[in-house]
């Protein structure tokens, strides 16, 4: 069942989303060769707590950390590590913050120093897919319109879209209805209504869309060992169009 949020509830979710956005702004300042994803983990954990929030993933289904840190061929759910990041790595940091019982969720892919043209292009196209998906997030459209915008742009540029990890509704719980993959046909799927809040989070692989989960039960890697990138925002459907609750450009 999809739970529609009131304008007041969306405003509370925006506050949680802006806490996540503030974390990403700080991470961007620190991202350079030699830093560890565990240092980023400590930063995010401290920052969320300092502002009266809770790192929602910490303890979620046994997960131990405030962040997911996914490097190079890791698609999602990578554990923070004490291994220094190297020049040319790309890393996706995924953060979910809880504030006053409401959640904000956003992942961002970062270049570590100077990266290859292949890596840079993958990042650029993945971010474009996010923006194109958001551009379809209007009341009256369908989830298939978002999915098709992502899939068509990705495949037009030679990339594959991960099918096995889903975007999701969000509110007081991290995973609410609807759940959906970023592949589909326009005009199909759940119709978007004012008050819906969900993530748009395309994960693009340089090679095959197939993946596997490591023995830790969390870390998702590309099946062929090639690069993966992800960008994610929490968005609300409003009468004025899509509202990006985790927008990093909003003034702190």
Is the pLDDT higher at 56 or at 250? 56
For the full predicted model, state whether its pTM sits above 0.95.
yes
User: Is 105 annotated in some ligand binding site?
Assistant: yes
User: Is 77 annotated in some ligand binding site?
Assistant: yes
What tokens does 130 get? 């996010």
- In our burial notation (b when 16+ CB lie closer than 10 A, e otherwise), range 44-60 reads bbebbeeeebbbbbbee
Q: How far is CA 139 from the centre of its chain?
A: 22
Residue entry with tokens 């969320």 = 48
Q: What is the mean pLDDT of the chain?
A: 97
User: Is 175 annotated in some ligand binding site?
Assistant: yes
The Cα–Cα gap between 137 and 121 comes to 25
Answer yes or no: is pLDDT of 6 > 80. yes
pLDDT, residue 252, reads 57
User: Is 148 annotated in some ligand binding site?
Assistant: no
Cβ contacts of 219-226, under 8 Å, gap ≥ 24 = 219/70, 219/74, 219/77, 219/78, 219/79, 220/70, 220/74, 220/75, 220/76, 220/77, 220/164, 220/165, 221/73, 221/74, 221/75, 222/73, 222/75, 225/73, 226/73
User: Is 94 annotated in some ligand binding site?
Assistant: yes
Answer yes or no: is pLDDT of 158 > 90. yes
Answer yes or no: is pLDDT of 168 > 60. yes
pLDDT, residue 55, reads 98
Angle at CA 196, nearest 5°, toward 94 and 55?
Answer: 30
Answer yes or no: is pLDDT of 136 > 70. yes
What tokens does 178 get? 């609807």
pLDDT, residue 212, reads 98
Domain 7-244 is found in CATH 3.40.50.2000: no
**Half-sphere exposure in the Cβ direction for 82 (13 Å, CA):** 0
For 18-72, write each residue's pLDDT tens digit: 999 999 999 999 999 999 999 999 999 999 999 999 999 999 999 999 999 999 9
pLDDT, residue 23, reads 98
Answer yes or no: is pLDDT of 251 > 90. no
DSSP 142: B
Q: How many residues does the chain have?
A: 252
Largest CA distance in the chain: 47
The residues pairing with 93 across neighbouring beta strands, listed in sequence order, are 69, 108
pLDDT, residue 166, reads 98
User: Is 210 annotated in some ligand binding site?
Assistant: no
Listed by start position, the domains of the chain span 7-244
DSSP 250: S
* Contact call for residues 73 and 228 (beta carbons, < 8 A): yes
User: Is 232 annotated in some ligand binding site?
Assistant: yes
What tokens does 73 get? 């061929």
Give, for 22, the enclosing helix (H) or strand (E): helix 7-30
**123-151: average pLDDT:** 98
**89-107: average pLDDT:** 98
Helices and strands (H and E) in the chain: how many: 4, 15
- How many Cβ atoms sit within 10 Å of the Cβ of residue 245? 29
Considering only CA atoms, which of 47, 57, 41 is closest in space to residue 21? 47
Band of pLDDT at residue 250, cut at 50, 70 and 90? confident
């Amino acid at each position: 069942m999809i739970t529609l949020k009131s304008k007041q509830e969306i405003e509370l979710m925006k506050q949680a989303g802006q806490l996540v956005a503030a974390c990403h702004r700080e991470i961007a300042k620190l991202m350079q060769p030699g830093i560890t994803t565990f240092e980023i983990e400590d930063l995010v954990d401290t920052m969320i707590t300092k502002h009266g929030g809770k790192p929602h993933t910490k303890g979620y289904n046994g997960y131990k950390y405030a962040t997911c840190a996914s490097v190079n061929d890791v698609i999602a759910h990578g554990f923070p590590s004490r291994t220094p990041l190297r020049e040319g790595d790309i890393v996706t940091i995924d953060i979910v913050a809880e504030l006053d019982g409401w959640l904000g969720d956003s992942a961002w892919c970062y270049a570590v120093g100077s990266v290859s043209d292949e890596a840079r292009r993958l990042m650029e196209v993945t971010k474009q897919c996010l923006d194109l998906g958001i551009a379809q997030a209007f009341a009256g459209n369908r989830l298939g319109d978002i999915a098709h915008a992502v899939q068509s742009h990705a495949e037009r540029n030679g990339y594959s879209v991960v099918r096995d990890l889903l975007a999701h509704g969000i509110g007081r719980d991290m995973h609410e209805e609807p759940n959906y993959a970023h592949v589909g046909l326009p005009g199909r799927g759940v119709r978007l209504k004012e008050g819906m809040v969900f993530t748009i989070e395309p994960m693009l692989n340089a090679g095959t869309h197939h993946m596997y989960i490591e023995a830790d039960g969390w870390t998702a890697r590309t099946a062929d060992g090639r690069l993966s990138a992800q960008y994610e925002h929490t968005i609300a459907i409003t009468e004025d169009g899509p509202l990006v609750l985790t927008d990093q450009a909003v003034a702190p």
